[in-house]
Structure 1
């Protein structure tokens, strides 16, 4: 049988044949119709029921995909993952079907979207290839699919996101009636989309370029140094105290990978996960230096060293079900996720839910909540150690900086915003101007030192500016994935030898690559992501002989985040972030300098005045999380996954439920419950907690279920649960059961524990509760009645607040919050 086949009709038959036996089924299509979903749903359901790994990615390009098709896909089986690629008007035309089983695999790519005519009797050409034709290409296709499936541009399909898409779909077709489709009852008459003139988009394919690794630090005998000493102590203490996961936040240049290797010495088997191959290879070398007596191997698209003591795995390979299940859930004692902010992507969910290590460690330099809102959730909010680049500069562990904010008069409000970036063509029209290039050159000449990295927004801008500087007599290189004249290794070596004055680049030096000798950073791009900006700043702060400070030259215009990016340089941001308005000009370390053009100061002050009001921002962030989850988030989920701090909802609305009431998120019955019992909800939210005891007693009450939780309770009835809760985790015991008075209660004694409960939470809470709670005759009781029809709703809300407050309490007491 031919291993390569042209399929020009009845693609459906081939798809159903492959689905009937495949354990992995990945579908990528630019649009989907309800008729196409109907044809495949039985085959998809049967495959899902036998445990196949099924992922389907559908595009929203030109809003051709029908909302009914999306609803149909998620209704087939709950284990099928469906995501929508939000193209934001950019061409999205892929059509591919990937299948794999224990014996082999099959790959179909061509012209057929997910519709009846495309799968049956339409004029379509598709090429089917057996995996054995080229296993490397097949592996690359699988990995590229997963990268696209979990890309930031995709959203999970659920009830909330389908409703949102449907509104956009209807609006688009009302505005553009020529896009409307005419449907017969049994057959669709499709308009096949004409190919648009492709916009020139330059996607950085760093895995196709030369790999440059971070220079090994001069460790000598390989011992922890600088921040690593403190961080290692905190990590080991967290492990000894019963934590099973934690995050370490260390600025670029302080040796996060070596820290992880030092910590890994106490574990037998280690899994190191990253999203880029150069990070994996660099980490493997670092671990081999620290732990030379262990075997180390790669697990990615090319190598499968699953039996090594230390396995360094690509997340995109590992998230495939067949690869994940090739390991036992308890195969690793320690799992490390590098650049942990990437773990917020859903690609990590399956992996981190599957494995059961003794400890999960996330390491990152940039866990900014606004960009990486899920990062804290994955480690339960446990930040064992944190030092950002400002603190490291203050302690002499990173180089000082001199920052120059140069005013940019470009009006970015006229450039289309595509949700997470500016429209490239419109941005280029503003950037590729001789007068703009001359202004950039003058600023660079005025402030530069010897070796410069220039961060651009696109390849065309990098090429344009590099050529402009060359015409003015400077030695420069434009370094990106399309560059063939010079490799990264060559360019970096030339820069270090001062044979180049500057390298113009596009995101090649964000992670995993360092040039310590760089002493000048030039930013000629709008700051779209604070995480990326922080990573890029870190490229110039490594200590290097002869480098007394790093110059940072930054164009300041009215682009998004321009008025908040300078907070990253502020030594007092923790003090000022709770004030009504933060200062525009930050306070930098004594060894550093910060200078802003007067026009830039005025611009930033004006932008700050126009920032989105807090209520609207909190509502937008809530809605985003609700869409991701497909339902209303719990209070703790809001805290762990939300873009904004959950405490802000309490500050603004009195309680989380108060926010839900304001936002119109409650049913009529829920509104009734909220209005009747609001004082109780506010009391549970706001009662002072010097210890966890109040919420632990409330949790003991809640253990009795929705119909009995509000019944009176005695200290004796609460004692066993109270003691068990506070002693089952070492950190709880140490935090709330470790002073001279309570340390005696480590061994359970009902009488002594009951006396503590009576004196501490019950008496004190009753006295401060404004009549909502009483404690008389050894009975702790709520002083209000609850209607039977209100019991379950109030129980759920009370439980949500209780769980949230206990979680946050132990975070704060352990010093684990930001």
Structure 2
């Protein structure tokens, strides 16, 4: 932005902010505003992150810093280092709040200079330092955030905080005051050095020793009374309700680390069985499980026994804890009667597909049977849900457990893997490259930079092969990180010894491929490292879960994912978000939005993001094989062929079905399910419902059709009431638009292929002030099977419409196609020719759709340099052969037109554009320009007009960052 524009915009903004908001138009990027923690999408952290990502230099002056607060910005700071951007942090030793580990972490950030406040009074006493300010330099202007937020995770994400964001030019008095104050304190401060830190460590420990209170450690022998948490209590109520209703089986789905064992013990305590059996697949679990049950259920310890290869005292015990390997042997099973136990609990119930488990499961006939698992979804077509009569009593998924604070928060860092000769490590990398000295040095550099919570490193590394794990363990040990590789070939004794060595701090890392996916409980793990491509979102979550158990020695888990040139990188956002929609737009947006759960933060470096985007773009998300797997999982879960509504609710987005198969009958056929025979007309109507209406972007048509299924006639007044009762905007233009759509008059033959297949019949009749379904459709709906598919499509669309704000034309931040925009704006006909980067005015309705592709492909004949000037202004270019007197240029300047702005990152988004809201053309911004037009080898100059669009709602931080910073 030119300096004159900056000054003019800032002048208008100041007058708006401080004098009269009615008379002056502000630049949202330069506005003064209050920043506080409203929600996961709008908080102090996101504002500071955005400012950091776009600044040219920065200075933080903050009294208190925590390691988890600092770690939120490590990927941004790493990217700034690559761009040559440096910063400063001024902090303090006030109240000994800042731990030595924070200063150690600060010393690892090469592009940040750190100093310690050291201003003293006349007696030489250190003055209390309680500043909280963040200064960002953008070259032509500066931005400062001053308020109550220290650099701590709670202050940035959770606490009720007030911070004022103000902007000014360099020669402004405010900027000068802040700069002089910072420079004055900076000059008096002490540089952070290792020598200073050594002295501070001693002072800090002395202070802590004086203030310490006794702490009960995990391994303390002091027993505490245990009661269920809120989620466990809810699960227990459901189990009690199941039994009250005569159900004899139930399945609990509970994320790793959420206390499945204790939940089972609480239920057994309430059930009070005469005899109880606990079945596990690993002997290492038995002793701890028995102790957990004893703590909850109580009674005599002699009532508890283990039945395994090494111990047989469970034969006569009231509460038996057995391994399936021992119990499944025929001679051992016969030692028990089939009805010996009135309550049986199968831990890690997804293993019931194995023959040993099946033998046990089919032999015993308990009064109640409970299965517990974190991952019921299987890829071997075995239906765990069927074993438990499709009775899922309760689900505690990862996000729910994090919100409920059952699990330890985590900080996930997606970083690029090692580059060898300018090539990123990929799927075909040799062991020589994977286990080279250079790569190990790089791994150590990154793991040290991103760090861990606590005083001692307890790390777990997942590798791509056993050979890689062994080779890396040797190299890490040689470089000062004692490590051990473990595989399935190692004995239980060897594994137990290695785990004990890790917990004791004798080992820094355990390296494995997948033997720690489940069944191992190491609460002290404070760093999980992924050095392999993600093969399964299920396995990803299992491995992540190894470090999510709480421990007093850590406040969060560090997860470092080394992302290489892997085809499966698209699975990372799927795993982190839990999105099973197979919708490429959703998955890409999940990367853009950096999901936050409470104080768990997910960040990617820009290079890592580019790798994920490339994988998403190259992956066919609607591949029939992948869809079939997802479909079968839902079928197993439900116990019947899912409806489209059920898929939309739980997994596959109906728009994927629409794009791939046009309607659900065809989709079921592709899923190898039997389908009824319908006429061409019936199928075309289903296609129309699925492709056009089921996206839910305007639900008026869905509401009308749904009402007409149960009522032969609906009056115009009733239709309006139904729409308004469902929170929809309504006027005569909408009514006319609904008519145009449901009579198919909106379409021509190009925009609605096979329009003739409808036989000239519209879906509805609108006459004499009332609506009816047309006679042909009414006759088709006499078929109960067809009625089921028809209603399913409508209900699916109504479900999907919950994603949108129905009381408005469009929902800011949601994606729309050009056809969607034409329909929702109530245009009479779909208008072809809306080119990428184009716009279209509708003089009848006085509105305009503007479609912008932000990053044009290199091969584009016209590469419009449309660019944001802050979050509130988009500089855009007109079509060619335009001047200031052109009709459409004058229309842009006409305040009576509503301008609707849609944008996409690149052509990879295909027909999908993000709606950014309404905007206005800034009157003084219109400028004649020339632009190169490339046609083959010919290049010529064409006249265009550039203008600035002022958004009524500034672009949200995540979308702005995705559009302006990240390349894909």
Q: TM-score, normalised by structure 1?
A: 0.49
Rg bigger for which structure? 2
Higher relative contact order (CA 8 A, sep 6+): 1
User: Which has the larger strand fraction?
Assistant: 2
Q: TM-score, normalised by structure 2?
A: 0.42
